[in-house]
A and B are shown apart, each in its own frame.
Chain A
Amino acid sequence: MESNLIIKDKQKNKLEKAFEILKTMASKPSGLIGLTIVLFHVVLALTSPYIAPYDYKAISPNTMLLAPSAEHWFGTDSLGRDVFTRTILGGRTALTVTFFGSLIALLWGGLLGIFCGLVGGKIDDVVMRVVDAFLSIPWILAMLLIVSLLGTSTEVLIPALGFFYGKGIVRVARAATHDVIAKDFIVSARARGHSNMSIIWNEIIPNVRDAILVEGAMRWSWMLLGFSSLSFLGFGVSPPTPDWGLMISNARGLMSFAYWSVIAPIVGLSSLIIGINLTADAFAKALGIDRSTKAPV
């Protein structure tokens, strides 16, 4: 009877499981708010090119620094461009770059961490020392160096961010692997003569997946923060691409009389980062993982 239940549970549709996790996440107000914000931003990023009222790069001397009005909902910037248009378009690059960056970080960080946790010994020692060394170089210095030498195109930013934000995942994946590795089912898989690859794929990954996914969700918001900091410092996307970090840095000098051109991108970026954070927290709680005692590494 019991084994029947387990088999049924295994057969349960993966989609159904994902839906259940979503339901648990949305059952708390903070999770619901987070999910709503993220969903809103994703939908906005997908539809904004079609609903934008103006051309984001149309410069016009007649409409410089206009205050918010019925025609220009969020006013215009110092080059006469519509702030509303640029704000709703401003998350597209950031979302795309950081989403794929997080995927890369998850993949290489997770696999290397699992591998290190499984093999242990000298290889593990050496890899962890190198990871520690990378962790001790401030992310901003490393990113700036890479970007200034290789350029700021998306093809550079995605792998660079993915690489730099993956090193912390190595540690998490390794620790999670250490937790499962002493369990009986691994020992019995070894006794059955399974190879390391098969043990990683069939036994370890299903058990450490949750911890790594939660870490990846958190890293997404940090990567977004890093990416927009780079744009803010002038090392991210290049103008005239609409981007929140870049918009804030351009409008900052004039904010004493044109505060609208800096407030709009601030609201856009802050809401997205807070949304992702709340979602990641709710996700962690829904999976039963407590990350509140962890340092942001």
Chain B
Amino acid sequence: MLLLILKRIGLGLITLFIVSLITFVGVEVLPGDACTTYLEREAYGAALDACIKRLGLDVPAYERYLDWASNVVRGDFGYSLSGEMPINEVLGPRVKNSLVLASVSILIGIPLAIVLGIITALWRDKLPDIMISTITIFSMTIPEFISATLLILIVAIWLGWLPGIVIIPSDATFYELLSNIILPVVAISMIMTAHMARMVRSSVIQVMASDYVQMAILKGVPYWKMVFRHVLPNALLPAINVVALTIAWLLGGVVVTEVVFNYPGLGRLVIESISNRDLPVVQALAIILASIYVGINLIADLMTLMLNPRLKSLQIRK
């Protein structure tokens, strides 16, 4: 069991190592280095030399990679080009803001998804299922920027209930954030809930068709007791992994949502750093976002392992 956990952590670390290689090689291979892209037309003479010196671009690539990687392992991402300040200082408040947004969305989204998934599965092909399933299909297929724009148009502009654009500095306090994040949270959790509710639905339907549920029905177990004792634990377990993958996949959508609402989180930093051609920050963001992805999947794997005694004896899953 312990070995299995260690193996999974090891695999996660290998993945992250490859990610760091990919981002580094990618930036190396694509035309233009950090200095020429950043300085653009002024990339000549003394300014270019100074920039190359400052970033240490005059040493060979593999030495730079080793240097950079060893610093990253110690939690130091180096300096950003545009702000000329340590990347850690740029990232700090952004990570906190995105964390607030993500955790509120997840706290609302997951329970809602489970409830909706169960309702649609138990009343399969009846009116509640048809209604909820139609809405989930809409909210999971429409791009984030469209649902966010529509939310602003309807709730903020036509109804005038909430401010449409978040106008807070990136170092706003927690309470300032909370009052501003209602619409972004709705936009993000809408899509997340839709994806997860669909998975819970099909998972519950699968379990309901299994032999032991038939057995429970024939034994005369009361309906709701059967649902909560026999069906749900077995149906929600396999959903954990899929939910983790979905959350991780939605990271990309969070970027877009943050831009639409002008929310000062990691997502907007992605756009800002790419617009400013600030490659060191982009590299740092790639590593951080990939770590989040790997971390979420690792937690999901471990949770499934802990909760499912049957998997403990099995070989590691690919």
Q: Is A93 at the interface (CB under 8 A from chain B)?
A: no
Inter-chain contacts of B149 with A (CB < 8 A)? 248, 252, 255, 262, 266
Q: Is A73 at the interface (CB under 8 A from chain B)?
A: no
Of the stretches A16-24, A44-52, A96-104, A131-139, the one at the interface is A131-139
A134 and chain B: residue at smallest CB distance:
B22
Interface secondary structure of B, over-half rule: helix
Complex contact A229–B145 (CB within 8 A) = yes
Inter-chain contacts of A62 with B (CB < 8 A)? none
A225 and chain B: residue at smallest CB distance:
B143
Name the distance in Å between A250's Cβ and chain B's nearest Cβ: 12
Q: Is A109 at the interface (CB under 8 A from chain B)?
A: no
Given A150-B31, A255-B153, A274-B137, the answer on whether A138 and B293 have CB atoms closer than 8 Å is yes
Residue interface bits B285-297, CB-to-A below 8 A is 1, else 0? 1100110011000
Complex contact B138–A144 (CB within 8 A) = no
Of the stretches A197-205, A207-215, A288-296, the one at the interface is A288-296
Q: Which of A140, A248, A295 contacts B242 (CB 8 A)?
A: A295
Inter-chain contacts of A266 with B (CB < 8 A)? 146, 149-150
Inter-chain contacts of A278 with B (CB < 8 A)? 137
Q: Tell me the bound Cα distance from A273 to B203 in angstroms.
A: 25
Inter-chain contacts of A133 with B (CB < 8 A)? 15-16, 18-19, 21-22, 290
A144 and chain B: residue at smallest CB distance:
B274
Q: Is B94 at the interface (CB under 8 A from chain A)?
A: no
Inter-chain contacts of B145 with A (CB < 8 A)? 228-229, 232, 245, 248-249
Complex contact B153–A262 (CB within 8 A) = yes
Q: Is A108 at the interface (CB under 8 A from chain B)?
A: no
Name the distance in Å between B291's Cβ and chain A's nearest Cβ: 8
Of the stretches B59-67, B70-78, B166-174, B245-253, the one at the interface is B245-253
Q: Which of A254-297 contact B (CB under 8 A)?
A: 255-256, 259, 262, 266, 269-270, 273-274, 277-278, 290, 292-297
Q: Which of A129, A232, A297 contacts B18 (CB 8 A)?
A: A129
Q: Tell me the bound Cα distance from A292 to B205 in angstroms.
A: 11
A274 and chain B: residue at smallest CB distance:
B141
Name the distance in Å between B101's Cβ and chain A's nearest Cβ: 15
Q: Which of A112-162 contact B (CB under 8 A)?
A: 128-130, 132-142, 144-146, 148-150
Residue interface bits A74-92, CB-to-B below 8 A is 1, else 0? 0000000000000000000
Q: Which of A139, A226, A256, A297 contacts B245 (CB 8 A)?
A: A297
Complex contact A296–B282 (CB within 8 A) = no
Inter-chain contacts of A59 with B (CB < 8 A)? none
Q: Which of B32, B203, B275, B289 contacts A137 (CB 8 A)?
A: B289
Inter-chain contacts of B199 with A (CB < 8 A)? 292-293, 295
Inter-chain contacts of A262 with B (CB < 8 A)? 149, 153
Q: Is A233 at the interface (CB under 8 A from chain B)?
A: yes
Name the distance in Å between A261's Cβ and chain B's nearest Cβ: 12
Q: Which of A141, A150, A293 contacts B270 (CB 8 A)?
A: A141
Name the distance in Å between B111's Cβ and chain A's nearest Cβ: 19
Q: Which of B30, B256, B290 contacts A233 (CB 8 A)?
A: B256
Complex contact B32–A269 (CB within 8 A) = no
Interface size on B, residues (CB 8 A): 62
Name the distance in Å between B212's Cβ and chain A's nearest Cβ: 19
Q: Is B271 at the interface (CB under 8 A from chain A)?
A: yes
Q: Tell me the bound Cα distance from A206 to B260 in angstroms.
A: 45
Name the distance in Å between B197's Cβ and chain A's nearest Cβ: 11
Residue interface bits A216-233, CB-to-B below 8 A is 1, else 0? 000001000110110011
Given A145-B30, A274-B137, A292-B201, the answer on whether A136 and B19 have CB atoms closer than 8 Å is yes
Complex contact B37–A149 (CB within 8 A) = yes
Name the distance in Å between B298's Cβ and chain A's nearest Cβ: 11
Name the distance in Å between A296's Cβ and chain B's nearest Cβ: 5
Complex contact A149–B30 (CB within 8 A) = yes
15 CB-based A-B contacts, threshold 8 Å: A128-B318, A130-B18, A133-B290, A134-B22, A141-B270, A144-B271, A145-B26, A145-B30, A229-B144, A229-B145, A233-B259, A293-B202, A293-B238, A295-B241, A295-B246
- 8 closest A-B pairs by beta carbon, nearest first, are A295-B245, A133-B18, A292-B202, A140-B252, A136-B293, A149-B30, A136-B290, A138-B252
Q: Hey, which bits of chain A sit against chain B, CB under 8 A? A: 128-130, 132-142, 144-146, 148-150, 221, 225-226, 228-229, 232-233, 235, 245, 248-249, 252, 255-256, 259, 262, 266, 269-270, 273-274, 277-278, 290, 292-297
Q: Hey, which bits of chain B sit against chain A, CB under 8 A? A: 11, 14-16, 18-19, 21-23, 26-27, 30-32, 37, 137-138, 141-146, 149-150, 152-153, 157, 195, 198-199, 201-203, 206, 238, 241-243, 245-246, 248-249, 251-252, 255-256, 259-260, 270-271, 274-275, 277, 282, 285-286, 289-290, 293-294, 318
